[in-house]
Amino acid sequence: MSKLVPPHGGKLTPVLLPESQRADALAKAKTLPVVRMSSRETSDLLMIGMGAFSPLTGFMDKANYESVVNTKHLTNGLAWPLPITLSVTPEQAETIKIGMELALVDDETDTYCGILTVNDKYEYDKVKECNAVFFTDDAAHDGVKKVMSQGDINIGGELVTFSQLGYASKYGDYYATPEQTRKIFDEKGWATVAAFQTRNPLHRSHEFLCKMGNEVCDGLFIHPIVGKLKEGDIPAETRLECYEVLLKNYFNEKNAVMKVYPMEMRYAGPSEAILHAIFRQNFGCSHILVGRDHAGVGDYYTAYQAQEIFDTFKPGEILCQPLKVTAAMYCNKCEGMTTEKTCPHGKEDHLKISGTKLRAMLAAGEVPPSNFSRKEVLEILLKYYSSK
């Protein structure tokens, strides 16, 4: 019997059809009216399909949408921090009727991904949604920009999906569903698992935090996002090379697992931290490392707002609990990695490490010091930046 935390809501609810049924579903989809999805909507469909967004089995209806925006909970009382929606224009909405089946097509690749059975269509307040989710309606915020550019009508309904948009073939064994990771963790005999969310190559402070998580839990789950990022972020293929070389040389691979997932970043800071915890619970994780400015962008969130938001939920609402860690850095006097909480020395002795700073140095052709990032990682990143 599994010792892992149960999925959010009690059970996984994947809607990805078995491989034997996908060709027939695709053929059926090609006979249906089409709704084209943005890259974010497609990534949400993939997450619903694999069961990562359990207990969701489709795009939200009006009641769940409004409940999430107003209370950060679904209508059944389960914690949920942000809307998972499909939007269309008013002109499109006029042609869509309750009970219709729609073929959902990824707009960027023209790939048929799933079939939606419509159970609701409704207007919504984009500004209110942005303030609830992103804590701002500033159009310069990457997530706000996405919401403000989407259709004015949301379409709710149940999904079946039949595509993984090439992620499974592209990433091979690194691509895994919640059912698969739970099986891996069970086979290892783990009861507690610390998840590490990342969209950057791991520098020394990331490595330090991962090892802290691994010390307090049976296992470590490094879970990089490989969906669409914002301009300037390092591509998934390059980051994967960096993760591989770190795992090989600096982690005990018996106690660490790495898999990737296809979600698109929203840069929603605190709201996204809660989402990250909920779907890591579905993957089998009891804990998630939440550090400084988790899932943030720009200066929209305070340094530890993504940690503080967990305290607004009642005990037991989210079973994947945060491991709240302060900013890590290299201290010349300590002669090693330390944190704001434990190091007594002044800023003049600290080498602050951040993904933003690392990218800026590499883009300028500067070679960061080895106490900033491992030399094997820097070699991969320098090769990438020199080829740009």
Q: Which are the catalytic amino acids?
A: 199-200
Residue 181 class from Cβ within 10 Å (0-12 exposed, 13-18 middle, 19+ buried)? Answer: buried
> CA 64, 65, 70: angle at the middle one, nearest 5?
95
Coil, strand or helix: which one is 243? helix
Q: Is the peptide bond before 55 cis (omega within 30 degrees of 0)?
A: yes
Distance CA 55, CA 75 (A): 12
Kindly state the tokens that stand for 291: 């550090």
Specify the residue for token string 């023209």.
110
User: CA torsion angle for 41, 42, 43, 45 (degrees, to 10)?
Assistant: 90
- Ramachandran sector of residue 124 (left: φ over 0; alpha: ψ -120 to 50; beta: rest): beta
> Would you say 60 and 129 are in contact if contact means Cβ atoms under 8 Å apart?
no
216/282 Cα distance (integer angstroms): 20
What's the farthest any 2 CA atoms get from each other in the chain? 68
> Do the Cβ atoms of 227 and 262 come closer than 8 Å?
yes
Q: Give CA separation, 350 vs 58, 175, 323, 328, 372, in Å.
A: 48, 37, 23, 10, 11
- Sheet of 256-258: strand order equals 256-258, 219-224, 193-198, 287-290, 321-324
In three-state secondary structure terms, 15 is coil
| E runs forming strands in 225-365 | 256-258, 287-290, 321-324, 328-331, 336-339, 350-352
Q: Phi then psi for 338, rounded to 5 degrees?
A: -150, -175
